[in-house]
Amino acid sequence: MGIDLSVKLGRIEMKNPVMTASGTFGYGEEYNQLMDISKLGAIVTKSITLNPRIGNPSPRIAETASGMLNSIGLQNVGVEKFVIEKLPFLRKTRVPVIVSIAGDRTAEYVEIARRLNTEEGISGIELNISCPNVEEGGMELGTSPRLTSMVVNRVRKVTKSTLIAKLSPNVTDIVTIAKAAEEGGCDALSLVNTFLGMAIDVKEKKPKLANITGGLSGPCIKPIALRMVWQVSRAVKLPIIGMGGIMDSADAIEFIMAGAAAVAIGTGNFVNPMTAIEVIDGIKKYMGENKVNRIVDIKI
């Protein structure tokens, strides 16, 4: 019996459990010259809004100890340009495509999901209700159980794609939010998004980010993200995509052991574009060395 890396998220069948995290892999084509993206379990696009956005002013990235802060502000081409210019390439990859969507209001999420529902080549919709880098919508929706359930439920009614809610760690009780998303009708959960953070340039005597605060990601958040995946996996019946500081296969295996069905590589893509491929190979090697035939059997 061979090693089986396949996993299923809702109706999405993935050949392995490794995908890219939204906002760190562009629209897929940007990495095509650097790696064989057909080897990925799935591709998650950067978040798409109803209309194009130019994002926040620069500087909007700052390096921190064992991580990075970003305040991109959901810069993107907008849904119509995405469909015309970006989706044709993604259709050719033969990899499940999960489109991350964001908005200022619930109605925008619904409108984007309805528009994408008419297009072929989209396997899933990830609701980014947890971005800490916009003034309205985003994290506001993801920190209220009532609003979380509402936006999931309304989008569920207009899309046939697998629906994934991306949760914010910037809450008092992430289990409550996860349960609300489950009750709203989503098929899977992504957790976690970035933590709200800040850095100051002591020489210049001013914040390192023009927007002052930003989302903290990288190895520094992994222990907290891992704990949240562990807690949520024991409170809901939905498959979980674990993320937060995964830099190698050992990190990914920890998340799977904690209860994640799949993992997403984020900051690691910036450090080493081959991270996702190396994680896939590393998981397979680990399973072979430990005589584990199915990826689901890694869980503890």
- pLDDT tens digit string along 205-263? 999 999 999 999 999 999 999 999 999 999 999 999 999 999 999 999 999 999 999 99
Interval 96-129: pLDDT, tens? 999 999 998 999 999 999 999 999 999 999 999 9
Per-domain boundaries in the chain = 7-298
Q: What percent of the chain lies above the pLDDT cut of 90?
A: 93
Q: Which of 72, 116, 125, 131 is catalytic?
A: 131
Per-residue confidence (pLDDT) for residue 143, from 0 to 100: 87
Tell me, what DSSP letter sits at residue 166?
E
Backbone angles phi, psi at 201, to 5 degrees: -85, 110
CATH class of 7-298: alpha beta
Helices (H), the chain: 79-81, 87-91, 106-116, 139-142, 145-156, 174-184, 222-233, 249-258, 267-271, 275-289
Tokens 């005589």 locate to: 291
Tell me, what DSSP letter sits at residue 259?
T
Strands 43-44 and 97-101: parallel
- Whether 40 and 31 have beta carbons less than 8 Å apart is answered as no
**pLDDT, averaged across the chain:** 95
Query: Is-catalytic flag, 220?
Result: no
Distance between CA atoms of residues 177 and 199, nearest Å: 28
Band of pLDDT at residue 130, cut at 50, 70 and 90: confident
Band of pLDDT at residue 155, cut at 50, 70 and 90: very high
Per-residue confidence (pLDDT) for residue 70, from 0 to 100: 97
Per-residue confidence (pLDDT) for residue 133, from 0 to 100: 57
> Is a pLDDT exceeding 80 seen at residue 135?
no
> Is a pLDDT exceeding 60 seen at residue 139?
no
**What's the pTM value of the predicted model, to 2 decimals?**
0.96
- 79-92: average pLDDT: 97
Per-residue confidence (pLDDT) for residue 137, from 0 to 100: 47
